[in-house]
Structure 1
Amino acid sequence: MALHAVDDIDDAIDATKSFLFPFEKWTWLRMAFVVFFIGGGGVGLNNVQSFSNLGDFGGNGGPSGPGGPGSDFQLAAPLESVASLPGNLALQVSGPGVPSGAPDELLAGAGLLVLAVVGLLILLALAYGILSNFMEFVLTQALIDREIHVRQYFNEHVGNGIRLFLFRLALGVIWLGIALVIGAAVFFLALGGEAANVGASSILALSGLVIAVFAVFAISYGIVFGFTTVFVVPLMTADNDGVLSGWARLWGSIKSQPKQYLAYLFFSIVLQIGVGIVGAILRIIAFIVVAIPVGLGAFALYLALQNTIGIALAGVLGLLGGLVFLVLSALIQVPLTTFLRYYAMLVLGDIDADMDPIPEVRSDIRTK
């Protein structure tokens, strides 16, 4: 029996070429926008770099800190009286132009600012996660039609996006609930329900079991999540199935052709590793191409002005460089993601023709 997971690799490359080439900039930019939202933009929080210690721009403070040489800071009360007051409230800062209680106000303002930034990041992460469900259908519809209309496809699949979001949320809750139940069972059965029994020796003794359970949960969750994305979403897009009805059809196919799906699972992992390596190399090249001129330009601005304005302009240039790198990363990911999604849909249609989401694409690339 031929393995479709092997035979369809070349066809997936041909399908990718037929959609993305000849190059059309708006197609690529729209696809990059969509790919970014489904997590294929090749960027993440780990890529955010923090820069500090650029120099002392105040010119007045010394390294010795408050009360040290070159500092105008002093205590407004004797040291022996400070400890007797609640919370050391007698500790104040005095100096030219510094009002009483300013440190407390500054700390409160800084705390509010940090909370606001953290809250904004949480809201952005939630919005990103929710939008990713809708963009899955925009991407799949674009691959089926071989053209991209973000607003149109988004509006057409609002209901599907909501259903996918709820399914993924329920999937995570169920897996977390099962993990908690297993953890509670281990705690009560293996440790007698006593927190005092939790120690280095007990953790070491149970480490093998914990690792095995974690591996099973991670693999099973990844398979369900991944098959939903690459198989059920196309069924929902092309045949108007719901998540559960799509999974019912897919499960019937899996039971009848387990060898084909296992082969896909294996080769898809291999291909994703290969695609990840290629993407990483291209992003490193893109980073170098962007970082060199941006870094030189920012450094030149700082040397030319050597003031707050120069620092601000250098920062703006750095942000623009980061944005350019973000766009380049998403563009790099476009053909890689397109290839992997076409590959999954081609395998699905070859396993079961009744579930083929891209019959026209398949016909066109195989008649050439």
Structure 2
Amino acid sequence: MALHALEAIDDALTATLRYRPQGLREWVWVGIVATAVASPGIGLSVGSNPDIPEESSDQLNELLAVATGEAAIAAVAALAAVWALFVIAGAFLEFPFIRWLRDGEAAIAEETRQRWRQALGLAVFRLVLQAVPVATIGWLVVSAVGDGAQPIAYVLAVSDYWLWLLATGTLVGVVGALTTAFVVPTMALSDRGVLGAWRRFWPTLTGSLTEFLAYAVAATVFAYIGGLMVVVAAIVTFVVVAIPGLLLAMVAPMLSVTVLAVGGGALMTVAVIAVYAIVQMYLRYYALFVLGYVDGDLDYAAERRQAVRNGESSADEA
């Protein structure tokens, strides 16, 4: 008997093509939302333990010493605040995104009113999930090096814990991806918080480990392929803009620079966002269909999954 995780590969592709955005407004909406929400693709962290030459170490120490003042602390705090806001915004957009995947309805305001508590809980869960490993490695480094050491000592100490970084990074990546792919739709269907949805999803996960292991492998591969597609889209767009730009340079050099900078940047951004949105649509449909095949009670996109499987049109297409 074929695994549902394999059967869903083609179904997700069909759904992505069939239910792709229609019209400029919908493309813009999907592009913005897909860029903000988390990806269900599983990324595995890699680590290393590099040896820094003594001369380079001295130079790096001087640079770090300059960057340890109040300005650096303020910059780190600002980056942390931006990161937190991005995580919160992504959590609030999760539910409108999967609703659009299910019904084709762009309903940010309605979903926010109905699920703001769930979205806020999801944001806190993600913030803690990502912050705990960072705080832990910070505590380990400070405990090992002590207070008042040279900045380079802390940098080198971090590299000593590369195995810990690899293990925690992989764990955080897997838990985060499973939360995005399966727990978020479980939250929407069962009207539970993130922890309650994890408790509901856990028996499904442990009862069909083979299915979800196959999904994890496939999703990881598809996520990397999707990343390559985004890079290729950027390169192709750059080439398309560069050729007329070079021709224009023969006539008006200054104008060609403006065309390349403004026009090229805009077109590359549009192309990258469009391709990224399609990749995210595919990954989400793949996850939703796998979950629906494995556990019918958690079949969030049941109508579209069945329509794709049977080669029919769903009600929202009629």
Q: What aligned pairs does 1:145-160 form with structure 2 within 5 A after superposition?
A: 145-160=103-118
**Alignment partner, residue 283 of structure 2:** 340
**Alignment partner, residue 30 of structure 1:** 29
- Quick check: 2:95–2:111 contact (8 Å CA) kept in 1? yes
Q: How far apart in 1 are the matches of 2:161 and 2:96?
A: 39
- Quick check: 1:298–1:318 contact (8 Å CA) kept in 2? no
Q: What aligned pairs does 1:141-290 form with structure 2 within 5 A after superposition?
A: 141-180=99-138, 183=141, 187=144, 210-290=161-241
Partner deviation per Cα, 1:57-78 (whole Å, 9 max, x = no partner)? xxxxxxxxxxxxxxxxxxxxxx
Q: How far apart in 2 are the matches of 1:245 and 1:120?
A: 33
- Quick check: 1:349–1:357 contact (8 Å CA) kept in 2? yes
Amino acid at match of 1:356: D
Amino acid at match of 1:36: T
- Quick check: 2:84–2:127 contact (8 Å CA) kept in 1? no
Deviation for aligned residue 1:243: 0.4
**Alignment partner, residue 10 of structure 1:** 10
- Quick check: 2:14–2:308 contact (8 Å CA) kept in 1? yes
Q: How far apart in 1 are the matches of 2:284 and 2:277?
A: 11
Q: Which region of structure 1 is more displaced relative to structure 2, 7-16 or 119-128?
A: 119-128
Q: Which region of structure 1 is more displaced relative to structure 2, 119-128 or 168-177?
A: 119-128
Amino acid at match of 1:9: I
- Quick check: 1:345–1:358 contact (8 Å CA) kept in 2? yes
Q: How far apart in 2 are the matches of 1:257 and 1:183?
A: 39
Structure 2: runs of 5 or more not aligned: 40-72, 312-318
Amino acid at match of 2:298: M
Secondary structure class of the residue paired with 2:106 = coil
For the structure 1 residues 157 and 286, does the alpha-carbon distance in structure 2 shift closer, same or farther, using more than 3 Å as the test? farther
**Alignment partner, residue 19 of structure 1:** 19
Deviation for aligned residue 1:35: 1.5
Deviation for aligned residue 1:340: 0.5
**Alignment partner, residue 353 of structure 1:** 296
For the structure 1 residues 281 and 264, does the alpha-carbon distance in structure 2 shift closer, same or farther, using more than 3 Å as the test? same
- Identical amino acids, percent of aligned pairs: 29
Q: How far apart in 1 are the matches of 2:225 and 2:241?
A: 24
Q: How far apart in 2 are the matches of 1:122 and 1:302?
A: 42
Deviation for aligned residue 1:328: 2.1
Amino acid at match of 1:235: T
Secondary structure class of the residue paired with 2:25 = helix
Larger Rg: 1
Q: How far apart in 2 are the matches of 1:116 and 1:324?
A: 34
Q: How far apart in 1 are the matches of 2:278 and 2:247?
A: 31
Q: How far apart in 1 are the matches of 2:242 and 2:118?
A: 40
- Quick check: 2:245–2:259 contact (8 Å CA) kept in 1? no
Amino acid at match of 1:222: G
Q: CA RMSD in A?
A: 3.9
TM-score, structure 1 as length reference: 0.63
Deviation for aligned residue 1:329: 1.3
Q: How far apart in 2 are the matches of 1:261 and 1:246?
A: 17
Structure 1: runs of 5 or more not aligned: 41-114, 305-312
Q: How far apart in 1 are the matches of 2:124 and 2:249?
A: 45
Partner deviation per Cα, 1:177-196 (whole Å, 9 max, x = no partner)? 443455567x3xxx9x7999
Alignment counterpart, residue 271 of structure 2, candidates 295, 311, 328: 328
- Quick check: 2:38–2:180 contact (8 Å CA) kept in 1? no
For the structure 1 residues 151 and 301, does the alpha-carbon distance in structure 2 shift closer, same or farther, using more than 3 Å as the test? farther
Deviation for aligned residue 1:117: 10
Q: Which region of structure 1 is more displaced relative to structure 2, 287-296 or 255-264?
A: 287-296
Q: How far apart in 1 are the matches of 2:221 and 2:243?
A: 33
Deviation for aligned residue 1:253: 1.8
Amino acid at match of 1:227: L
Secondary structure class of the residue paired with 1:357 = coil
Alignment counterpart, residue 363 of structure 1, candidates 283, 306, 310: 306
Deviation for aligned residue 1:212: 2.3
